[in-house]
Structure 1
Amino acid sequence: MTLYQWAEDLAQWIKPENIKTNESLKTYTMTKLGGNADVFVMPATEQEAVAVVKYAHTHDIPLLMLGNGSNMVVRDGGVRGIVLHFAKLDEIRIEGDTVYAGSGALIIDVSKRAAAESLTGFEFACGIPGSIGGAMAMNAGAYGGEIKDVIVQCAVLTDEGECLVLSKDELDLSYRKSIISKNGYYVLSATFQLAKGDQAAIDAKIADLTFQRESKQPLEYPSAGSVFKRPPGYFAGKLIQDSELQGKGVGGAEVSEKHAGFIINKNNATAKDYIETIKMVQRVVKEKFGVELEKEVKIVGED
């Protein structure tokens, strides 16, 4: 079967305008890097998502879930098989102090909607540039808060297309880990429990966190966000800074001078430049401090 046959078959369930072949993934990643996807599919409903996952499983076609592309680096050779993008599954619904969000909803938008309803508990996410699906998979967190602090349950698909609803305990959330990433599940939606709060206090906290983010992070350049996990007993950014790596890199990629934990696409970098810069940072920090930096970003695709 060819990729064009895949696209033709998928059109049984998905509108043709939501199926693309040889689609550049640069548009869909925060780094603005990467090659093409063989087939790129954007389901408009959960039922369509189920159909795509079942089709890929039945025909043994590689399937990659792409969220907002904030913590992913796509190699220059692109991605073989089908790339599944849930941007259209972006419903946000609030009932009392319970928040429902589709996989494709941006976590920043969920934080804003919650704040507008005077709900507290999601302020930490006001600057996280990812989707709910990605946030669930990696138990996203910032400024002292994490998804595990507010999650009630999460609806997922297995790689066979079976729908599961997982409770907080079943999600097995820990630092940048979950049963979702471990088992390769595809997130459909998540339900969060917040609490009524003081509007002035909520607005003040979001303003403070937004200021901290904008003043400390290199938002003017494409990047994958924080590249490395926090090593036990250390801070990745401090280790990189103390290794005198800021402003250094490979090709068009560079360790940010504003925040050492970020690697930026400063000058038309390739994915190879970005990945080699990651490896350079890991090597130098290991040599200087004996600390292994583990990637927080996911690297996918072919060279």
Structure 2
Amino acid sequence: MAVFDHNEAVERTGEVYLSEASPRDYFELLKPRVMSLVVFTALAGLVLAPGHINPLIGFIAILCIAVGAGASGALNMWYDADIDAVMSRTASRPIPSGRIRPEEALAFGLTLSAFSVVILGLVVNWLSAGLLAFTIFFYVVVYTMWLKRSTPQNIVIGGAAGAFPPMIGWACVTGGVSIESIVLFLITFLWTPAHFWALALFKMRDYGAVGVPMLPNVAGEATTKVQIVIYAVLTAVIAVVPAVLGFASLWYGLFAAALGLGFVWYSIGVLRMPEADRAMVPAKKLFAFSILYLFAVFLALIGDHLIAKLL
């Protein structure tokens, strides 16, 4: 029985294609969960930065950063549609499920990228706009198109893309980059490998099926577990540094240290996990806790700063 090919029919008959995608489908292209984390860390950078920014300008800045992050997500889904269709975690995304055509996602992502960078530059400053443009480029070209399918260190290097937002938020206020904003960058940068390798452990079959060289598939579970502990320790240490440098209080430092001990504890649970354990409950627990950890650290930084201003 012949299978109807809509694209071929359009070419043959000259029919005008009308997208059936809903606004919800386009919103899903933006990777809203990732976007929420980006917005929150960018807000932390904006709040912690010395100086003052008009609330309306600050809102526009955060909106542009959110749109830029969403544009990156759309372009990532456009390029990765082939492997997304195979992996159970991503098969229901708008492109592999057929709700949005690849060219629609590409146009959507490129339009939002240009819009977010230009508006941020015109309304706020061009350094923050340049950092946003570099972040989009790094995530889409360096990570998605190059690193993700070529090296098991894809998450380590590519994690920089997700770590730039607090630095962008800082630059929106100050027009510059400082040691404080670099520390905020490093918190997310060092957190990323433990977070994603925990996911990679219990999604090894998916990554193996599509040929993405995640560390557990290439170096094995044992090496991955050790690396997770190392990065958890590094993250726990760098998260305390704001208190050491004096742009957060001792109370924040104690809270961050306690959170860091929890992060390391969960990572040690993964280290002790038997390789025969197919349920991989410790890895799933670490993955869930790591999300809570990062939100809690940046929430504590924001709260600590606001309390200090009131006192």
Whether TM exceeds 0.5 here: the answer is: no
User: Which range, TM-score by smaller chain?
Assistant: under 0.3
Q: TM-score, structure 2 length as denominator? A: 0.26
Structure (1 or 2) with the larger CA radius of gyration = 2
Give the structure with the higher percent helix. 2
Give the structure with the higher percent strand. 1
Q: TM-score, structure 1 length as denominator? A: 0.26
